[in-house]
Amino acid sequence: MSFNETSLEFDLFESMRRKLARLLVKEGREEIEAERIALYIMQGVREVPRLLNALASDNTPEEELHDVLNTVLVNGVSLERARVILAGEDKQDRG
């Protein structure tokens, strides 16, 4: 992967994160909370396309497939964090 491809990918994910944060603010979330949720969601889904490509390819070595799967599962914790904030469960714990 070249430097430009990495930069373009970062820009794409950053653009999606900002769009999601704006949507959450528009729906009534505080800006800092919306930013946190959007960041967690993007962290949680960032490697999913890589996993899908690895699964779709007949040429992906099993070790690489395991590595990508592990990364997706580890990053999935971020989705749970986002869910907790969206559901307001984080405020109940502080309450």
Q: DSSP assignment, residue 1? A: -
Phi/psi of residue 27, nearest 5 degrees: -80, 0
Contact 45, 79 (CB under 8 A): yes
Task: Tell me the mean pLDDT in the region 15-19.
Answer: 97
| Average model confidence (pLDDT) across the chain | 91
Amino acid found at 92: Q
pLDDT of residue 74: 97
Phi/psi of residue 21, nearest 5 degrees: -60, -45
pLDDT tier, 95 (very low <50, low <70, confident <90, very high otherwise): low
pLDDT tier, 8 (very low <50, low <70, confident <90, very high otherwise): confident
pLDDT single digits (tens) 54-83: 999 999 999 999 999 999 999 999 999 999
Q: Give, in order, the Cα–Cα distances in Å from 95 to each of 17, 37, 88, 90.
A: 29, 20, 11, 9
pLDDT of residue 1: 43
